[in-house]
Structure formats: C-alpha cells, structure tokens
Amino acid sequence: MKKRGVLVIVSGFSGAGKGTVMKGLMEKYDDYALSISATTRAPREGEINGVHYFYKTVEEFEKMIEQNELIEYAQYVGNYYGTPREYVETQLDAGKNVILEIELQGAMKVKELIKDVVLIFITPPSAAELKARLVGRGTEDMDTINARLSRAVEESVFMDKYDYLLINDKLDVCIDELHGIIQSERSKADRNVETINIIREDLKVFSERG
C-alpha cells in the first residue's frame, strides 16, 4: 500500500516569495503536488487558467461553496480564494505531499479540520525587503501594494500559530529547508503506524524461535 502524503500549508505575506519557493521545490523534487486554488481575482499578466488558479466569477465560486467542493475558502483584499477538495485527496492518496499555498484565515480553518496538517510560514528577512519585493514585482498598483502591506501587519499577529517559520533570504537555502521540514514530518512515528506494525509482525519470527 502506498503511504499517504503529508498535507502542508505554506502561508506568508504577499511578496514573501512563496510562489518562487514553490516553483523551485516542484522543479527540484518530484514528491510534491501543488494544489491549484479557485479565485475570483482577475488573472495577472502571464497567469494561466488551470495552471496558476482556476479563475471563477463570484456566482461560480459561491456555487462551489454551496456544493461543498472546497476544503476551505476565504476573502482576501476583496476577492474569494478557495481550495478544491478532490485534487488534494487524490494526490495525498497517491503518496504525494500536497502543498496548499493559502492565506492565514484558510490555514486556521484547515488546522481545525485536519489535525495532522503541517503549517509553515514564510517571511522575507525584513519589512523593507517585503516592500521592495512587492514594488519590484510590478504587477500591482500602489493602492493594492499598500493594502497588501497593511494586511501583512494584521497577519504577523498570527505567525506563532504556525508550526514552522521559514525565512526566505537565499532562495536555494529556503527550498532545501522547506524540503527538510516536510521529510522530517513524513518520518514521524505517528505517521508511520502501519510500517511499525509490519516491522513488528516481521520480527515475530525471532521471538517464536527463541
């Protein structure tokens, strides 16, 4: 039987570089699946439907909520964002570690629902660096950037509700630290009850002989 993967939530301030870290993780290791969220936000330049997000109208999104197709959803700076359930379950069953890159309200909802989820918070090394990254991205106007920065102030209150804090200073280091955390989680004894039982069963031949 295939071992079920670990469900991981990665949150962090807008501009923390989560997207780049996720992309690097997927390219470097093949034991991950990245959940694709549904959103009512308009696609940014270069974003593709079904790759970055599933872009929905408000009516379509609310229908997904009604039909219980989302594990969680939240509103963020005026738009809906949510995690479709089916893909996550299929990938976990196939043994992949599934990453949800979601904001904090959604993270807290999943934490309540699924006890063994691993919560990781990514932050840039400083507030100045956060602003520089958001401005440098050039995809949002100054009003949106300011809204995202004040949202970061609110979110920082909840950083200690996460299991791990990851500082995204050097990209390669951050990717390897993230992989290390997830590998360690996967090795935890309480995630390996079945393997432990198999080994115990196997060992019985020795006690019968003795």
Q: Which of residues 6, 33, 61, 81 is near ligand 5GP by CB under 6 A?
A: 81
Q: Select from 17, 24, 82, 124 the one that contacts ligand 5GP (CB under 6 A).
A: 82
> Which among 56-64, 101-109, 174-182, 183-191 is the span making contact with ligand 5GP, rule CB under 6 A?
101-109
* Token representation of residue 75: 């509103």
Segment near ligand 5GP (CB under 6 A); pick from 98-106, 123-131, 162-170, 195-203: 98-106
Task: Return the residue matching tokens 């196997």.
Answer: 202
CA gap 82, 35 in Å, rounded: 10
User: Which residue among 102, 120, 175, 182 contacts ligand 5GP (CB under 6 A)?
Assistant: 102
Should residue 101 be labelled a site residue for ligand 5GP when binding is judged by CB under 6 A?
A: yes
Rounded to an integer, what distance in angstroms lies between the CA atom of residue 84 and that of residue 29?
23
* Amino acid (one-letter) located at 77: V
Ramachandran angles phi, psi of 101, nearest 5°: -95, 90
Instruction: Write the DSSP symbol of residue 31.
Output: S
| Binding to ligand 5GP, residues 32-71 (CB under 6 A) | 37, 41
If binding means CB under 6 A, how many residues of this protein chain bind ligand 5GP? 14
By CB under 6 A, residue 103 contacts ligand 5GP: yes
The only residue of 40, 83, 123, 168 in contact with ligand 5GP, by rule CB under 6 A: 83
Residue list 112-171, contact with ligand 5GP (CB under 6 A): none
d(CA 32, CA 7): 10
Distance of alpha carbon 32 from alpha carbon 98, whole angstroms: 6
From the list 126, 78, 81, the residue with the least C-alpha distance to 105 is 81
Q: By the criterion CB under 6 A, which residues form the site for ligand 5GP?
A: 14, 37, 41, 72, 74, 76, 81-83, 101-103, 105-106
